[in-house]
Every structure is written in C-alpha cells, then in structure tokens.
Amino acid sequence: MGKKRIISKTKEELLKEREGMEKKLEKSTRVSSSKFREGIIYIKSSYNNIIISLTDSSGNVLSQTSAGKIGFKGTKKSTPFAASKVAGAMAAILTKMNIKKISIFVKGVGSGRDSALRSFASKGFEIEMIKDITPIPHNGCRPRKARRV
C-alpha cells in the first residue's frame, strides 16, 4: 500500500490555530451567558423516550437533551426517573447559560411529563408559564369503508 506521509505543523502554525479556537470558544460562551436571560423549554414525552429542548424567545434551539443521550436504554428511557434525570441535566445547562426565567411547553402522553415539570420547579427557576400543546384529534380519522357481503 505504500508509506503514509505525516504532515507536521510548525510551532507558529499550532499557536495560531490554538488562538483561533480559543477566540471561537470564548465568543460562543460569552454570547450564550450574557445574551439570554429567559428561555423556552419544550418537553416531548412519548411512550419510548423523553426529549427536552431549550430555545430562546425567537425559537432558535440553544440546547437539547434526551434520555438516550444521558445513557438510558430500552424501556427505561420512558420512565419518570429518566425524565427527572433529563430535566436535571437541562437545569445544569440553564444555570451554565445564566437563564433564570423559563416558559414550559409540554407535548405527548408519556409518563415522564409530570416528573420533568417537578424537577424544573424544584431547581429554583422562575416558571412563567406551563402550557400543554399535545395535539388532540377533533374529528378522528376517516372510518373504514363498509363491508359488503
């Protein structure tokens, strides 16, 4: 197959690259910590998983976490315990971003909805609003055609 050449960078190039990465990191953390004081939390709870998203007031997603991302597998992802752990992880992100006020939108029929709400309330955030946005069918789906015998 032949020899592979290893490209080595000089010290100056490495220092310049490091400075660029530090500036990008500093800029992203500075904006997220100082710009946002309030956020919107979306809790989507299904029979299989729970997903919590954090957005700013205009709807841009800042962070997202789920039970699978934390490490729960299989049927354990949809339990109330997993939901409280996911909410705790999101609360840590909120405190890191210095967000105090939150509005919560809950969607879905899973068992972790209430425990996630309780977890956010116990962490000491100022909850402005809790709204259920679960879609409800208002006329149902179309029935099957009548069977002819």
**Helices 113-122 and 80-96, interaxial angle, to 10°?**
40
- The CA distance from 135 to 139, in Å, is 12
- 87, 120 Cβ separation under 8 angstroms: yes
Rounded CA-CA distance 65/50 in Å is: 9
Joined together, the tokens standing for residue 105 give 């939108």
Residue 132 to residue 143: CA distance in whole angstroms: 28
In this prediction the pTM is: 0.71
Q: Please answer whether residues 96 and 72 qualify as being in contact, where contact means their C-beta atoms are separated by less than 8 angstroms.
A: no
Q: Element (H or E) spanning 118, and its range?
A: helix 113-122
Position 16 scores a pLDDT of 78
What superfamily would CATH give domain 36-132? Ribosomal protein S11/S14 (3.30.420.80)
pLDDT at 4: 65
Q: What is the mean pLDDT of each run of 10 residues along the chain (149 residues)?
A: 66 76 59 69 96 94 94 93 95 92 95 94 94 91 91
* Phi (first) and psi of residue 148, to 5 degrees: -100, 130
> For the chain, what is the largest distance between any 2 Cα atoms, rounded to a whole number of angstroms?
85
